[in-house]
Amino acid sequence: MVELLNLVYHCLVLALVVLGLAVVFGMLGVMNMAHGEFLMLGAFSAVTAQSAGLSPLWGVAIAIAVCGVVGWVVERLMIRHLYHRPFDTLLATWGLSILMREVIELFYGRGYQNVDMPFTGSVALLGVAYPSYRVLLMAVLVVLFAALALWYVRSPSGARIRAMVGNPTLAQAVGISTTRLATGAFVFGVCTAGVAGALLAPLVRVEPAMGLDYLLNSFFVLVVGGLGSLAGLAAGTGMIGGTQVVISNLFDQTSGYLAVLAVSLLFLWLKPNGLIARR
Amino acid sequence: MNRRRIIQGGVAAMLGMPLLSRVSWAASSPIRVGMLIPESGPAGLFGPSSRNCTELGVQDINARGGVLGRPIEVLYADGGLPPAQAAQAALRLWRGRKVEVLIGMHDSAVREAVAAMLDGKLPYIYTPTTEGGGCAPATYVIGETPQQQLLPVMPWLAQNRNVKKWYLIGNDYVWPRDSNVVAKEAIAASGGEVVGEEYLPFTVDNFDASLGRIRDSGAEGVFITLVGGASVGFNRAFASFGLPAKALRLCTLLEENTLLGIGAQNTEGLYSSTGYFATLPSGAARQFADRYRSTFDNAKAPLNGLAESCYEGLLLLEAMAAKAGSLEPKATEAVAEGLAYEGPRGRIELLGRYAAKNIYLAESKGTEFEIVQTFENVPPGQSCTN
C-alpha cells in the first residue's frame, strides 16, 4: 500500500515540477534551461519566509511574486526576441540559469538550507501511516490539476492559448494578441516552477545548485508524453514516474534510473513526437 | 691589471650577481605552499570554509616564525575539477608558481592523479576523510580511514545502543564500497548481522523505494555512506516516514553543513563518527572554533571537519619541516615515522604515512553535534611500508 501511495505521490509531484516547462517549452517552444532555477527560487522563497519567522507555506506567495517579476522581466528583455529560435533560447536561458545560481549564492552562500515541515507526523491512509505533509500536498495537487484542466478546456483564455499554440498566424489574424498571451504563458510557467519549489522545499534538499536535478527529468517527461497539451504532460508523467518507481521497487535505484533513460531514448528514436502528439 | 683581467672579472661578477641575489632572495622570501581545495563541483560547497581554515593556519604558523625560518604563503588551485584537470592545476602550482609542498583536500580520484603526476618529487599531504589505499612516495594521508571510524564505533553501538542488525546504504563509488567492507568486519566482530546492502547512483533524489526496504528488513541501525545532497535528501525522507523510532543512523561523512541541510526536525538518532567536530570540547579545539567564528561569517561557511583538515595539513607541514630541517621529499620521508603534533583534533601521529588520532562519536542534537564517546589514539588500520 505504501508503494501505491509512493507511486501516486511521485507522479503528482513530477507533474507539478514539469508543468511549468510543459507550458514554456511545450507551448511557446522556449527550451528553458533555467526551469530548475525558477524552482530553486521558489525553494529559497520558503527559506526566506521561514527565516522571517513565517510559516514556510508563505513561501508559495513569495515565490509567485518573485518568479512573476523575474519571469516578466526575462520575457520582455530576452525571450521575446528569441521565439522561433529554439537553439538560441537554449543558450540564453542556460546563461540565465548560471546568473540566477550565482545571485542566490551571493546572498545565501553555497551551503544546504533547511525548510521545516509545516505539518509533522503522519495520517492513516488506505490502512498505512503516511507523512501528513505528503498527504496534504497530494490533495492540493489533485485539486490544482483538476481546476487547471477545466480552465484550459472551458475558459476563453484557454481557447485563445490553444489557438495560439495550434496556429499562431491564424490566431493573430482573428485578433488574438499573441505577444501578450505569450508573455502571460511564460510568466505562468515560471511561476508554477516557483510554486513547485516552495511546496517541495520541506521535503527535498535545498541549495543553489538544486535546480539541475529537476531539469533533466522534466525534459524526459515532455519527450515521452509529447509537447503542447495537458494530456501529453499526464501521459509522460505516468510513463517516467511509473517506470522509475516500479523498477526501483522491484530491483534497485540504479535499475530504476537506467530504465528511465532507456524509455526516454526509445521514445526519441521510435516515437519522437511522444505519446500524445499535438499534430 | 690588464684589460683581459678586467673583462674576466666583470663577466664573473655579472655571472655571480644573479646567484648572489638569488641566495639572499631565498633567505627572506616566503615558502610557497600549494593548496588544492574544491572551488567547483559537488564538493565546491566546502571551498569557502576550507579557505578560511587555511588562512587561520597561515596566520598561526607565520606568527610562530614560519617554516624553516621563512614565512609561508599559500597559493590555491581548484581540487573540485575532474582528476586530470586538477592534476594539471597542481602541476602549474609546482612548475609555474614553484610551490615547495602540496596540501590537498579533495576526492581520492584527484589524489591518485596528483600523486602520479608528482611521482614523489614534492611532499604531498592529503587531509580529508578517505578510504585510503594509495601509497605514493612522500604522500602523507592524515584523514580518517574507515577502520578508524568503524572498528571501535560499531561494537560500542552494539553494546550501548543495542544495535545488531545493520542496513548499509551508500552512493555507488569507491569510498562507500570500501567503507562497507570494513563495516561488515566491524559488525561481525560485534556479533551483529547485515540485513541489507544498497548502492545508489548520485542522480537519485527519491529514496522511497530504499526506505521501504529498510523498514521491511527490520534493521536496528542504518550505516549511511551517501554523500552531500544525497545524504540530506535521504535523511529528511527517513525522518518524515517516522523511521528514527525504528532504527539509529550512523554516518562517517556527516559534517556541520550537511547536518544543517537535514534540519533539526529530522536528526533524531543520527550519529556521526569522525576526527573533528566544531563542538569538540578540548581547549585547543574550542579556541580554534571561537577564532573561526569571530573572524569569518559562520552562517555562510560553517566550520566543519573537512575544512578544518586543511589547518591540520599545515600543522603537519610545520612539524615535518622542523624535524627534517628541509622540505626535500626524501628528508620528509626519513622523519615521517612517529612524527607527532598537537592540534584542535588532539594528538596526531604519523604511522606508515597514515595517521593515528582520536575518533569522536557524536549524536545530533538539533543541528549541533554532541560528543557521546571519544576513542583515543585509534591506529589508522592501513599503512605504507615502501
Q: Is A81 on the interface with B (CB under 8 A)?
A: no
B21/B137 same-domain check: yes
- Cβ within 8 Å, pair B203-A213: yes
Which residues in chain A have Cβ-Cβ distances shorter than 8 Å to B262?
112, 114
pLDDT for res B385: 78
User: Residues B106-121, buried b or exposed e (16+ Cβ, 10 A)?
Assistant: bbbebbebbbebbeee
B262/B177 same-domain check: yes
pLDDT for res B27: 53
For chain A, domain boundaries: 13-211
Best of B210, B232, B243 to disrupt the A interface (most A CBs within 10 Å) is B232
Minimal Cβ distance to B257: which of A111, A203, A249: A111
B32/B122 same-domain check: yes
Q: Is A255 on the interface with B (CB under 8 A)?
A: no
- Greatest Cα pair distance, chain A, in angstroms, is 57
pLDDT in tens, A122-146: 888 888 889 999 999 999 999 999 9
Confidence of residue B3 (pLDDT cuts 50, 70, 90): low
Helix residue ranges per DSSP H, chain B? 3-28, 47-63, 83-91, 108-118, 146-150, 153-160, 174-189, 208-217, 229-240, 256-262, 283-295, 305-324, 329-336
Q: Is B356 domain-assigned? A: no
Q: Is B380 domain-assigned? A: no
- Cβ within 8 Å, pair A205-B205: yes
Which residues in chain B have Cβ-Cβ distances shorter than 8 Å to A249?
209, 212
Is 50 exceeded by the pLDDT of residue A237?
yes
pLDDT for res B25: 45
Cα–Cα distance between B88 and B117 in angstroms, integer? 9
B171 min Cα distance to partner chain A (Å): 10
Minimal Cβ distance to A207: which of B212, B229, B299: B229
Query: Chain B: residue nearest A111 by CA?
Result: B45
Range in B15-29, B33-47, B79-93 the model is least confident about: B15-29
Last residue of a domain, one of B274, B290, B322: B274
Q: What percent of chain B is predicted at pLDDT more than 70?
A: 92
pLDDT in tens, B210-219: 999 999 999 9
Confidence of residue A278 (pLDDT cuts 50, 70, 90): low
| Residue type for position B138 | A
pLDDT in tens, B143-161: 999 999 999 999 999 999 9
Q: What percent of chain B is predicted at pLDDT more than 90?
A: 82
pLDDT for res B1: 47
How many A/B residue pairs have CB atoms within 8 Å? Answer: 103
Confidence of residue B22 (pLDDT cuts 50, 70, 90): very low
User: Residues A197-231, buried b or exposed e (16+ Cβ, 10 A)?
Assistant: bbbbbbbbbbbbbbbebbbebbbbbbbbbbbbbbe
Minimal Cβ distance to A112: which of B204, B261, B264: B261
Which residues in chain B have Cβ-Cβ distances shorter than 8 Å to A8?
none
- Residue identified by cell 552562500 is A109
Q: Is B1 domain-assigned? A: no
Q: Is B379 domain-assigned? A: no
pLDDT for res B4: 58
pLDDT for res B5: 59
Cα–Cα distance between B194 and B178 in angstroms, integer? 15
Scanning A85-114 for CB atoms below 8 A from B yields: 108-114
Minimal Cβ distance to B229: which of A117, A205, A253: A205
Is 60 exceeded by the pLDDT of residue B16?
no
Is 90 exceeded by the pLDDT of residue B317?
yes
Among A130, A152, A254, CA closest to A203: A130
Minimal Cβ distance to B209: which of A9, A206, A248: A248
- Cβ within 8 Å, pair A249-B302: no
**Structural domain boundaries, residue B194:** 147-274
pLDDT for res B316: 97
The larger pLDDT score, comparing residue B40 to residue B103, is at B103
Mean pLDDT over the full length of chain B: 90
Confidence of residue A216 (pLDDT cuts 50, 70, 90): confident
Contact B134, B111 (CB under 8 A): yes
pLDDT in tens, B30-68: 999 999 999 887 788 899 999 999 999 999 999 999 999
Dig out the grid coordinates for A183 from the structure.
Answer: 508573455
Q: Is B373 domain-assigned? A: no
B345/B303 same-domain check: yes
B129 Rama sector, left if φ>0, alpha if ψ -120 to 50, beta otherwise: beta
Cα–Cα distance between A102 and B381 in angstroms, integer? 42
B198/B303 same-domain check: no
B293/B314 same-domain check: yes
pLDDT in tens, A62-71: 999 999 999 9
Domain of residue B206, CATH code: 3.40.50.2300
Which residues in chain A have Cβ-Cβ distances shorter than 8 Å to B45?
110-112, 207
Bridge-based pairing state of the strands B101-104 and B340-343: unpaired
Segment B259-265 shows an average pLDDT of 91
- Cβ within 8 Å, pair B206-A244: yes
Cα–Cα distance between B357 and B376 in angstroms, integer? 7
Which residues in chain A have Cβ-Cβ distances shorter than 8 Å to B241?
122, 131
Q: Is A251 on the interface with B (CB under 8 A)?
A: no
Q: Is B385 domain-assigned? A: no
Minimal Cβ distance to B45: which of A110, A117, A254: A110
Whole-complex ipTM: 0.86
Dig out the grid coordinates for A111 from the structure.
Answer: 551551503
Among B204, B206, B209, B179, CA closest to B194: B179
Confidence of residue B2 (pLDDT cuts 50, 70, 90): low
B180/B158 same-domain check: yes
B98/B127 same-domain check: yes
Which residues in chain B have Cβ-Cβ distances shorter than 8 Å to A257?
201, 203-204
pLDDT in tens, A27-57: 888 999 999 999 999 999 999 999 999 999 9
Best of A14, A252, A261 to disrupt the B interface (most B CBs within 10 Å) is A252
B153/B105 same-domain check: no
Is 90 exceeded by the pLDDT of residue A109?
no
Q: Is B376 domain-assigned? A: no
Query: Chain B: residue nearest A105 by CA?
Result: B300
Best of A12, A105, A248 to disrupt the B interface (most B CBs within 10 Å) is A248
Which residues in chain A have Cβ-Cβ distances shorter than 8 Å to B205?
204-205, 213
Segment B338-367 shows an average pLDDT of 95
pLDDT for res B328: 94
Which residues in chain A have Cβ-Cβ distances shorter than 8 Å to B367?
114
pLDDT for res B20: 45
Q: Number of structural domains, chain B? A: 2
pLDDT for res B8: 57
